[in-house]
A and B are shown apart, each in its own frame.
Chain A
Amino acid sequence: MSEGRHAQGGVRFGMVIDLDKCTGCGACSVACQAENNISFRPDESNKLRSITWMSIFELNNGGHYPDYKYAFLPRPCMHCDSPGHAPCTFVCPVNATTRDENNGIVTMVYPRCIGCRYCIVACPYHARSFNWWDPKWPEPMESMLSPEVSTRMRGVVEKCTFCHHRLLAVRSKAYKDGTDPDKATYTTACADACPAKAIVFGNLLDPQSEAARLSKDPNAFQILKKLNTKPKVYYISVHDWIRKLSDNAVAQELQG
């Protein structure tokens, strides 16, 4: 793999999710679905084929009552910051998914995607979904789609964009207002919708941002840290059993 670093801007958008606050209500997932025009089918029982940018995994400690413990883990795209390339951008044969080095967001160019699904197999977080069918919405939902987000056609891959269109909107406003667009901040639909305020979004390189502060919390961790994918989504939990589930190697360290 290429170890060369691309020129990096002063902005690195990331997310911190407090698992001890998350109730697993699914509001983040629903908000994401509505905000990003994610299509769905009448029967969504096959979870391996349903398109969800923000999936919610149920974690448990493997114990039995009364020692049984559970938690919920919302999983957006990790927008991996690994040197040179994210696991997915590295393998895409047509540059349909790339990382914007100005802000660290891993984006998709849907009209360029050939649907080879190489990025799907490359992603260890299962953050990518393939459009197995033509996107359809029941009446009158089609007229309620957001005009700011393009819908995706059958046969292409899609994933969480950290609500990139919201970034474009705040940058445009900054231009109009004569302020520095690179200092413009925004938040994602999932963070907006979370009733428990478990999701915090912001610039991880800005020491003033809450996201940056929380990402340095002693109880903050990343999923599959050992793989060197450098995810920009952090999780927080005070519980060892939850942190152990973040990575097998971490589990061994915590046990050790």
Chain B
Amino acid sequence: MRCEVQGMDRALIPAGLKRCSLPVFGLWMLLLFGVIGWGVFAGAVVLLKAMNVTGLNDYFGFGAYITVDLAIIALGAGAFFSGFLYYGLSRFFPSLKELGKIINLAVVVGFVCYTGALAILVLEIGQPLRAWFGYWHANVHSMLTEVIFCISCYAIVLIVEYVPVVLENRKLCEVKPLKVFGRSLHDVMAIFALTGTFLSFFHQGSLGGIAGVLFGRPYAYRAGLFIWPWTFFLFILSAIASGPAFTALICGVLEKVSGKKLVDRSVYDLIGKIEGVLLSVYIVLKIADTAYWGLVQSPGLGLKMGDFYWGPYGIWLLIAEIGVCGVLPAMILLWPAGRKSNFLLFGAFFLDIAGVSLNRFVMSIPAFAAPVMPFDKWQVYIPTVYETAPTLAMLAYCALIISLSYRYLPLFPREKELNRA
């Protein structure tokens, strides 16, 4: 029996590639399933006992769930943006063809980020059975409507993009109709990648718009262009400035854990260069936005920038987000010697990701902790285990799918060559 299972496992691993032994992989799976089980239990309690088990209240309508959703969706942007660069722009800029070596991983990362976020979204609403009302009674003025439509469509696009990757599996390839179907999907992938790009640009933006349109909340509110507040554009830019870095960081972790080279170093260098430019543009615009918000818009409403920072939600958030996790990684990534050092390159990727996640946190929690009425008070939000457990489970789910995909699918076209010695 044991031999049969091991034989099946070996038969599913792409030909010519080495993977860790089944018991080791099984233990890792067990750990991940344990975390997922814990999160599913906590999620079930939220659904059955209602949201009173969370740390949310009438001052914090948004909390850990929305923060993690916003962050994970931004980091999943590596899928659409890498796809856009590879399938869309590489015809005009051949150097972008390098991204083909990591594009499968980007699709997997995008797929897990979006499907994971959708699962958390179900917990986020007080009446989950009415989730479909978003399509049926849609309010066209609401940014959340734009999010609901775009995220659903893009999740479908990601599934379509993930299917041909799954069909590359050695055993599935032996079934001829599946192989033909997979290859046909590959041929039209550019269309899906570009559709995904369009949808993703919109929904990253509308996620930014969620906070930016709140004209009753001076911390979050931003002026903008037509119906879109500046946060709409900043969210798009920050997502594309961090998504590919997240894919690269995961690839780096996979290399470290597996002890193999999975992509050429030039891929990381290229992603570093692209992210360096995008992050620099983003951070310059973010500083301009913050300066206008703090020095022009807020004083017009009788507020000082200092009114927005207090206690645990102090000015350190701004320094960490813009300085430590924005300017610093942008400088490292723009500096050729910085990109050459693995420590600096991956460190910069990490800071970039942390900065964008921090931005999503700031726009979801401190933005609503700040009192608006002069006689109101600051409040502090502390998530409960019923929020942290499903969140960790979502991350474990991401790790699970990535691990399974890495083990059984030929994610990295150059892996065999790079590890021949």
Contact = CB atoms under 8 A, between A and B. Distances in A.
Interface of A: 1-2, 46, 48-49, 57, 59, 73, 80, 82, 84-85, 87, 90-96, 112-118, 120-126, 128-134, 153-157, 223-224, 226-229, 244-252
A116 B127 CA distance: 8
Contacts of B11: none
Interface in B167-202: none
B213 interface: yes
Main secondary structure of the interface of B (DSSP, over half): loop
Contacts, number: 168
Interface of B: 50-52, 56-62, 124-127, 130-131, 133-134, 136-139, 141-145, 148, 210, 213-218, 227, 300-303, 307, 368, 372-376, 379
Contacts of B62: 117, 121
Contacts of A228: 215
A59 B57 CA distance: 23
Contact of A114 (B51, B130, B379): B130
B217 A122 contact: yes
Contacts of A154: 50, 126
B213 A90 contact: yes
A247 B216 CA distance: 13
Contact of A155 (B127, B133, B210): B127
B137 A155 contact: no
A154 B51 CA distance: 9
Contact of A94 (B124, B134, B218): B134
A239 B217 CA distance: 27
Given A49-B52, A114-B133, A1 B373 contact: no
B126 A227 contact: no
Contacts of A112: 130, 133, 137
A182 B295 CA distance: 47
15 contacts: A48-B58, A48-B60, A49-B52, A49-B58, A84-B141, A87-B214, A93-B142, A94-B136, A94-B137, A112-B137, A121-B368, A122-B216, A122-B217, A134-B50, A226-B302
Contact of A95 (B125, B126, B139, B210): B139
A114 B126 contact: yes
Contacts of A245: 374-375
Contacts of A128: 58
Contact of B124 (A95, A116, A157, A229): A116
Contact of A130 (B126, B218, B307): B126
A163 to B, nearest CB: 21
A-B CB proximity, top 9 nearest: A115-B126, A155-B126, A249-B302, A248-B302, A117-B61, A120-B61, A87-B216, A48-B57, A124-B372
Given A130-B56, A131-B126, 17 more contacts: A48-B57, A49-B57, A57-B373, A94-B139, A117-B62, A120-B61, A123-B216, A126-B376, A130-B51, A130-B58, A130-B61, A130-B126, A154-B50, A227-B215, A245-B375, A246-B374, A249-B302
Nearest to A125: B373
Contacts of A87: 214-216
Nearest to B303: A248
A25 B215 CA distance: 33
Main secondary structure of the interface of A (DSSP, over half): loop
A124 B220 CA distance: 11
B58 A129 contact: yes
Given A73-B375, A132-B51, A91 B126 contact: no
A128 B58 CA distance: 7
Contact of A92 (B51, B125, B142): B142
B144 A93 contact: yes
B61 A118 contact: yes
A141 B331 CA distance: 66
A78 to B, nearest CB: 10
Contacts of B130: 94, 112-115
Given A82-B215, A90-B141, A95-B137, A156 B52 contact: no
A247 B302 contact: yes
A154 B49 CA distance: 10
A90 B375 contact: no
Contacts of B131: 114
A48 B144 CA distance: 24
A115 B127 contact: yes
A124 B302 contact: no
Contact of B227 (A1, A117, A124): A1
A87 B213 CA distance: 9
Contact of A93 (B56, B58, B124, B138): B138
Nearest to B217: A124
A115 B144 CA distance: 13
Contacts of A126: 58-59, 373, 376
Given A118-B61, A126-B59, A91 B214 contact: yes
B218 A227 contact: yes
B125 A114 contact: yes
A93 B148 contact: yes
Contacts of A117: 56, 61-62, 126
B141 A85 contact: yes
A252 B375 CA distance: 15
Contacts of A115: 51, 125-127, 130
B365 to A, nearest CB: 10
A157 B56 CA distance: 14
Given A73-B375, A155-B126, A114 B134 contact: yes
A118 B142 CA distance: 10
A2 B374 contact: no
A226 B192 CA distance: 46
A94 B138 contact: yes
